[in-house]
Amino acid sequence: MGKIGVVGSINMDMTVKAERIPLKGETLKGEDLKYIPGGKGANQAVAMAKLGAKVEMFGCVGDDAAGVSLVKNLQDMGVETKCIKTVAGVPTGLAMITVGENDNTIIVVAGTNDCVDIDYVNEIKDSLLECEIVLLQHEIPQETVEYVIELCAKNGVKAVLNPGPARPVKQEILEKVTYLTPNEHEAVILFGEGISFEDMMKKYPEKLVITQGSRGVSTCRKSGEVILVPARKANVVDTTGAGDTLNGAFTVALMEGKDIADALAFANTAAGLSTEKFGAQGGMPTYDEVKEAMGR
């Protein structure tokens, strides 16, 4: 299997458990405060490495203790980190996460993720273009995301865009992406409210995949048939990183040459398993664990 690249965020997640998500203006008691590796980019890289893929992470960290430990974590997980840049004087990205009632809320402070700029991409271009497929999210500057997608398109490298957190993307960029994986909210930001999810998917068959939380994932086949791949039932502990696991597993399955429905079934199972342990990366399964769960 060829190399998969991720150009994206690397965060330290400051995670706290509460009995529920606080209301506006409310103070709640939290417990179990943990500092653990996260960031949508790094999470997706780790999800793929755990599934046995050859993965390289492209991004930035600060010259602080969080930066050092996050790069070490990626290395320990088997992700190539040689192109990760350490930026002096800017703090490593941080996410403040509240986990409660089978859901979460996240506030991200970008820090060095905002240093993943076009100059950086030009510095790491040779390694990036060795990848067969590149995975991107929306936790680095938008102009960088667009630049990488253009670069991939020009050089015959496939690009998967997981457009979270939600923000608009130029139409010409959407056309150049190989796979697009928004949730329903992100899909509305990308395509507007005047079009149904079904019509969005029919416009981009086997390219647009819309995730629907506990219901599952939908796409439209080239034949025009819209399919829903149901989510796997899980004993949920923490949903943080489930979307990242889904994106990583989907990309690995595509690299293996799986048909889109099979790739989504594999990805759904991996995502479901990932929710059964605490932390964005804590529950990410191995390839054999996904296969075993699919056979059950």
Catalytic site positions: 244
Q: Does 186 bind ligand RIB (CB under 6 A)?
A: no
Q: How far is the CB of 156 from ligand RIB (least distance, A)?
A: 29
Q: 14 or 151: whose CB is closer to ligand RIB? A: 14
Whether 249 contacts 287, CB under 8 Å: no
- Pairing assessment for the beta strands 11-18 and 93-100 based on DSSP bridges: parallel
d(CA 138, CA 151): 17
Task: State the amino acid at position 245 in one-letter form.
Answer: T
d(CA 38, CA 10): 6
Q: How far is the CB of 206 from ligand RIB (least distance, A)?
A: 25
When binding is defined by CB under 6 A, the residue of 6, 8, 13, 182 that contacts ligand RIB is: 13
Q: Does 247 bind ligand RIB (CB under 6 A)?
A: no
Nearest Cα to Cα of residue 136 among 157, 122, 154, 119: 157
Interface positions, 104-123, toward ligand RIB (CB under 6 A): 106, 108
Stretch that binds ligand RIB, among 60-68, 69-77, 241-249, 262-270 (CB under 6 A): 241-249
**Token digits for 214?**
């506990």
Q: Does 241 bind ligand RIB (CB under 6 A)?
A: yes
**Token digits for 173?**
């960029």
d(CA 296, CA 25): 45
H or E stretch at 71: helix 65-76
Q: 186 or 244: whose CB is closer to ligand RIB? A: 244
Q: How far is the CB of 225 from ligand RIB (least distance, A)?
A: 30
Q: 185 or 203: whose CB is closer to ligand RIB? A: 185
Please count the residues of this chain forming the interface with ligand RIB, following the rule CB under 6 A: 16
When binding is defined by CB under 6 A, the residue of 240, 245, 269, 275 that contacts ligand RIB is: 240
Indicate if the alpha-carbon torsion angle 237, 241, 247, 252 is positive or negative: negative
